[in-house]
Chain A
Amino acid sequence: MTNTKIKIKNLYKIFGSNPKNAMEYVRNGLSKQDLLEKHSHVLGLRDINIDISEKCISVIMGLSGSGKSTLIRHINRLIEPTEGEVVIDGDDVLAMSAEELRDFRRNKASMVFQKFALFPHRSVIQNAAYGLTIQKIPEKEAEERSQHWIDRVGLSGFENHYPAQLSGGMQQRVGLARALTTDAEILLMDEAFSALDPLIRTDMQEILLDLQSELNKTIVFITHDLDEALRIGDDITILRDGEIIQQGSPQDIVMRPSNDYIADFIKDVNRSRVLLVRSIMVPADSENGPKIGMNIPLEEALSQLSSKQAMEGSVVDSEGKVVGKLDLSTAIEAIRRPERSSNDLQYR
């Protein structure tokens, strides 16, 4: 497995006038609803434990109000926790002095925001260069480095425009360029693509995956959209009312939803696109039938099988070694919607 880059341990956040006091009740198991009604404090996060792996895209998913923004802001300490630990590369973020924290934010973690949060008085290139300006990097170097990322996100020619002159998709490209320009190892993305319409969102996801295959940053990506989570996540954490209700790979979540809430969530997902061959193959070492890569989605595997009119294929790893077999009926069974929802269908 890869190394843990960001370790969040027993993190609690309570909003209100006296959070320390309210911690008592929360530790004794009072629900978010009751805490709000009886003590007028808002439970933001309850006992969050996550290990975020280096060089992966870790998605944190949940509906509105589940505490996603609150959680991601603890990583660069834009929000102070009520209790708990955030450790990055062995350094305790909460123990940093104001100056160490600024250094950390300048060099190690950059952020992309849901509503873009661009500087309206700075041009595109000045926005992209913001992090470097803050670090007092000479103007010429800052300009070259920002130009590079402006080109990479596909905004060449718009350097001297102002944010108000750009469409939403373009503004978020500026947001992305601004975050990439500082060369930070950690990229925090709070619903970065949620405000964009579907086509542009897919575009942006592609840009991100493309960049990631080459940059290998540690990305924490927040979304409320399951398709987006499954598409780009190496790892998914699902939040509900400030608590983690499931953590795992996209396949884990789709194959083994830990409760009805999640099962309900995933029932409309196109499973053939999410599930990878490796998650449903059965171990085997002898070859029979056409070769199928272990890391391709089922959709693709099925079309390969049917084009060769085979009932089963042998699954191979990236070096071509046989590691298992996939037969058509297992694959189709896996793609079917889970039991519960087919029952639902019968009632209609």
Chain B
Amino acid sequence: MDFFDTFPAMDRQGLRDLKKGIDSSFREFSRSYGEGIEDFFEPLLHFLVWLEKLLINAPWPVVIVGIAILAWLGSRSWKLVAGTVIAFLVIGYFGMWKDTMATLAIISVATLLCISFGIPLGIWMARSERVQLAITPVLDVMQTIPSFVYLIPVVMLLGIGKVPGLIAVCIYAIPPLVRLTNLGIRLVDKEVLEAADAFGADNRQKLFGVQIPLALPNIFAGVNQTIMMSLAMVVIASMIGVKGLGLPVLRAVSNQYLALGLLNGLAIVVLAIIFDRVSQAYGRRLQAHREGTGHD
């Protein structure tokens, strides 16, 4: 009867040894490779630091004008540009300028990193059933595993700082981009692809001339998702040493500073809304040819 009352678990000693074994071997691993991995990410760190300094040190009106220009290029909408400028003025007025710039820097770098890995990975997945079968469960894990759990090995490997923060953000933010790139390419009209075949296009010409351009709206939706998710990850990333708007939020939680938390939280929301609107407007413009409203 004992068997049914208590679960036949591993005995304590064995379990302890197992966990210890895993911990120590990972520690061993990080001791011997941690430095190499850190060196590998060195250029990324430099870039991130450079961008952050640039944004913080540049005179604020210049930054705002730069952001306004980017918003215009993306959306071609004066309303959106005006909204963006006002939002940044308000953020600055409430004393969050520096933190916002730091967040902006890490979001930009994280997005670039996600794009440069996520899109090729998505393309690879679309071209091979086997790769798709292998990668899909990995993406599922990346999306469902609590972020705190993978923070542990990342921190063990790289310590506390910007790079581990960046990696944590990317692990969280890259899956939708990979998925949507894969989906976008797979959804390209079979008949159009057949036409490309009939005219003798090779694989490269089909990929760059037909599949990617036609998948662009989906790929772009993926980029949009990635930006949104990296913003959402900012607070958690600040736990392991990423500066920016997340840090004050964290402080507010532990000290029960309602106003501080609210202000910084709202700043994150505002950034998210701006990014979202601008990138969606840009995505829509990419599809202009589908609606028959001509663009040149």
Chain A contacts to B: CB under 8 angstroms = 76, 78, 101-107, 110-111, 113, 115, 117-121, 130-131, 133-135, 160-165, 178, 182, 188
Q: Give the shortest distance, in Å, between A98 (CB) and chain B (any CB).
A: 8
> Taking the nearest CB of chain A, how far is it from the CB of B218, in angstroms?
13
B194–A117 CB distance below 8 A: yes
Pair A117/B195 contact, Cβ less than 8 Å: yes
> CA separation between A135 and B209, bound complex, in Å?
13
Chain A minimum-CB-distance residue to B197:
A78
Q: Out of B191, B195, B214, name the residue touching A121 (CB < 8 Å).
A: B214
Q: Which residue, of B194, B195, B197, B214, has the highest number of chain A Cβ atoms within 10 A? A: B195
Q: Which residues of A contact B290 (CB under 8 A)?
A: 120, 164
The total of interchain contacts (Cβ-Cβ below 8 angstroms) comes to 73
* Set of chain A residues within 8 Å of B141, measured between Cβ atoms: none
B153: Cβ under 8 A from any A Cβ? no
**B200:A111 contact, CB within 8 angstroms:** no
Flag if B198 contacts A78 (CB, 8 Å): yes
Min CB–CB distance A123 → chain B (angstroms): 8
Taking CB atoms, residues of chain B closer than 8 Å to A134 are: 196, 199-201, 205, 209
Could you mark each residue 153-189 of chain B with 1 if its beta carbon is under 8 Å from any beta carbon of chain A, else 0?
A: 0000000000000000000000000000000000001
Interface centre among A104, A106, A121, A133 (most CB of B within 10 A): A121
What separation, in Å, do the CA atoms of A130 and B209 have in the docked complex?
10
B residues sitting closer than 8 Å to A (CB atoms) are: 189, 191-192, 194-202, 205, 209-210, 213-214, 289-294, 296
Distance in Å from the Cβ of A124 to the closest Cβ of chain B? 11
Taking a contact as CB atoms closer than 8 A, the residue among A102, A107, A115, A182 that contacts B202 in the complex is A102
Cβ-closest chain A residue relative to B203: A98
Please give me the residue from chain A that is nearest to B190 by CB atom: A117
Contact A162 B199 (CB under 8 A): no
- Assess whether A76 is in contact with B198, with CB atoms less than 8 Å apart: yes
Which residues of the other chain, A, contact B213 by a CB distance below 8 angstroms? 121
Q: Which residues of A contact B214 (CB under 8 A)?
A: 120-121
A162 CB contacts on chain B under 8 angstroms: 289, 292, 294
Assembly CA distance A90 to B292 (angstroms): 45
Contact yes or no, B194 A106, CB < 8 A: no
**B195 and A110 contact, CB distance less than 8 A:** no
A161 surroundings in chain B (CB, below 8 A): 294
How distant is the Cα of A106 from the Cα of B209 in the complex, in angstroms? Answer: 16
C-alpha gap A115/B192 in the complex (Å): 9
Distance in angstroms between the alpha carbons of A328 and B292 in the assembled complex: 56
Q: Considering only CB atoms, which chain A residue lies closest to B192 in the complex?
A: A117
Known: A120-B192, A121-B213, A121-B214. A182 touches B199 (CB 8 A): yes
Q: Which of B192, B194, B196, B292 contacts A165 (CB 8 A)?
A: B292
Given contact pairs A78-B197, A105-B198, A106-B199, A117 touches B191 in the complex (Cβ within 8 A): yes
In the assembled complex, the Cα of A229 lies from the Cα of B214 at a distance in Å of: 36
B135 to chain A, nearest CB (A): 26
CB distance from A88 to the nearest CB of B (A): 15
Q: How far is the CA of A178 from the CA of B199 in the complex (A)?
A: 9
The 3 nearest A-B residue pairs measured at CB: A106-B200, A105-B200, A117-B195
Among residues of B, the one whose C-beta sits closest to the C-beta of A175 is: B195
Residue of A with least CB distance to B206: A134
Give Cα A121–Cα B189 distance, bound, in whole angstroms. 12
| 22 A-B pairs whose Cβ atoms sit less than 8 Å apart in the complex | A78-B198, A102-B200, A105-B200, A111-B199, A113-B195, A117-B191, A117-B195, A118-B192, A118-B195, A120-B192, A120-B289, A121-B214, A134-B205, A134-B209, A162-B289, A162-B294, A163-B289, A164-B289, A164-B291, A164-B292, A182-B199, A188-B198
Contacts of B201 in A (CB 8 A): 102, 134
Do the beta carbons of B199 and A130 come within 8 Å of each other?
A: yes
7 extra A-B contacts, CB within 8 A, seeds A134-B196, A135-B200, A162-B289: A102-B200, A110-B198, A117-B194, A117-B195, A120-B289, A121-B213, A134-B209
A121 in contact with B289 (CB, 8 Å): yes
Q: Which residues of B contact A164 (CB under 8 A)?
A: 289-292
Nearest-neighbour CB distance to chain A for B216, whole angstroms, equals 8
| A111 CA to B290 CA, complexed, in Å | 24
A107 to B210 alpha-carbon distance, docked (Å): 20
Q: Are A131 and B199 in contact (CB under 8 A)?
A: yes
Q: How many angstroms between the C-alpha atoms of A107 and B196 in the bound complex?
A: 14
CA distance A151 to B289 in the complex (A): 22
Query: Inside 8 A of A105's CB, which chain B residues have their CB?
Result: 197-200
Interchain nearest-CB distance for B158 vs A (Å): 42
User: Does A78 lie within 8 Å of B199, measured CB to CB?
Assistant: no
Measured CB to CB, the closest approach of chain A to B286, in angstroms, equals 9
Closest chain A residue, CB of each to CB of B193: A117
Shortest beta-carbon distance, B292 to chain A, in Å? 4
Of the residues B191, B197, B293, contact of A115 by C-beta under 8 Å: B191
Known: A117-B191, A119-B210, A120-B214. A165 touches B294 (CB 8 A): yes
A121 to chain B: which residues have CB within 8 Å? 213-214, 289
- Chain B contacts for A113, CB-based, 8 A: 191, 194-195
Contacts of A118 in B (CB 8 A): 192, 195
